[in-house]
Amino acid sequence: MNGRLLIVEDDPRLGPIMREVLGTEWDVELCGTAELGLAAVLSTAYDVLIVDRRLPGINGEELVRALRRGRVATPILMLTALGELRDRVEGLDAGANDYLVKPFEFEELSARLRALTRDYGDRGEGIGIGSWRFHPDDQFIESPYTGRILLTEAETAFLQVLAAEPERTFSREYLLQAVLTRSESQGTVDAYVHYLRRKTDRDLIHTIRGSGYRLGTPA
């Protein structure tokens, strides 16, 4: 067993299936409402949480906010049927460490849970960005407030370019060619900057008007 896992999911079919499948790797507890989930977290130590965004009564986003306000730093994976950037960002802003859009494959869900709970203690100190620590090899950045925040491959590559030369301002054209594909527009660069800021801290990346972007120094 990898540890204790709490699933907060109200779907009467999906919840029990998740408990059964993930039960081969985890000691799983299932709650059907945010209220029950909150009570469980306050009384039991879990290694990771899965929280559905759409829950009856208090929704998953509000539950995550309540946990973070209560200084609960347990890694949280949010499940959502909403795939739009705004919906993903709102979940991450609430304090979730990662998200997964329904429908999903259980292999991916298991991999994300392992990533959220992996011991990175022997991976070195990473790259300091203000009070944050960036670990490009493992595709995550460590917040001084909520712990590990997983990054996609593209987000990692984007941030790695900026971190390699923290005093340099990179043009949108350069970043587009270095990280993304030529078929994408320079507006995609702005979208990634927006996403990284909302996922981490607004001061992670500075905008240099008329020139582009450079690494910031988040508190």
Tell me, what's the pLDDT at 188? Answer: 87
**pLDDT per residue as tens digits for the range 146-204:** 778 888 888 899 999 999 999 999 998 889 888 876 667 788 899 889 989 988 899 99
State the pLDDT confidence band at 1, using cuts at 50, 70 and 90: low
**Domains present along the chain, CATH in parentheses:** 4-117 (3.40.50.2300), 127-215 (1.10.10.10)
This prediction has a pTM of 0.59
Tell me, what's the pLDDT at 148? Answer: 80
In angstroms, rounded to a whole number, what is the distance separating the alpha carbons of residues 155 and 163?
12
Tell me, what's the pLDDT at 122? Answer: 46
**pLDDT per residue as tens digits for the range 33-86:** 999 999 999 888 899 999 999 999 999 999 999 998 887 888 899 998 876 666
As a residue count, the chain comes to: 219
For the segment 86-96, the average pLDDT, to the nearest whole number, is 76
pLDDT at 139 over 80: yes
- Contact between 200 and 209 (Cβ < 8 Å): no
Q: Which amino acid is present at 130?
A: G
What are the strands of the beta sheet with 48-52, ordered from one edge?
A: 27-31, 4-8, 48-52, 76-80, 98-101
- Contact between 29 and 49 (Cβ < 8 Å): no
Tell me, what's the pLDDT at 24? Answer: 94
